[in-house]
Amino acid sequence: MSTPTDEGEGTLAPVVRLTERSRTDLPGGFRAIRARRRREAERTARVPEPGEVAHVAGEVRVAVGSGSLVFGSHPSCDVVLPGLHARHAVLGRDGAGRLVLSALSGSTRVDGVPVLNQVVDEAARVVMAGHRIALLLPRPAPRLV
């Protein structure tokens, strides 16, 4: 039986199998592995078109355009989610162009507080009937210099 060496071609490197125990001994263990996989999934996730919905990492990501979006369980709504009222909430813009979330019925929270009408931005933590909603605002095109 030959011993693996660093010399020449045709030599084999030793194979090390990670056991369940040795994986937890890695820096960060399983948490680091899961976090790395989650970051990779988020990085490669396609950005939806305005009004389109993507389910990523346990939340509902909604791309926001210049128009309004109706959230609800009725098929005529722009964003249809189970468990919401037929017409649950509307996300639109006010006269100044700011995003305003208007709750029509049911439980709608922004940053943990129940709301009826609330100005929101991309950082707002919106929850509707247990669904975590992430708002994706359009990014300006990069300037070429």
d(CA 71, CA 89): 5
Residue of 129, 70, 76 whose CA lies nearest to 101: 70
pLDDT at position 42: 63
Handedness of CA 41, 35, 61, 106 (dihedral sign): positive
In a domain, 16, yes or no: no
Q: Which residues contact 53 (CB under 8 A, 6 or more apart)?
A: 60, 61, 62, 63, 79
| pLDDT average, residue stretch 90-118 | 90
Contact call for residues 30 and 23 (beta carbons, < 8 A)? yes
pTM for the model stands at 0.61
Structural domain includes residue 96: yes
d(CA 16, CA 64): 48
Residue 82 to residue 99: CA distance in whole angstroms: 24
**Is residue 110 included in any domain, yes or no?**
yes
Is residue 90 one of the residues assigned to a domain?
yes
Burial of 141 (0-12, 13-18, 19+ CB in 10 A): exposed
- Find the domain containing 107 and state its range: 48-136
99 in a domain, yes or no?
yes
* Average pLDDT value for residue range 103-114: 89
Is a pLDDT exceeding 80 seen at residue 144?
no
Q: 109, 144, 112, 100: which is closest to 129 by C-alpha?
A: 109
Average pLDDT, the chain: 77
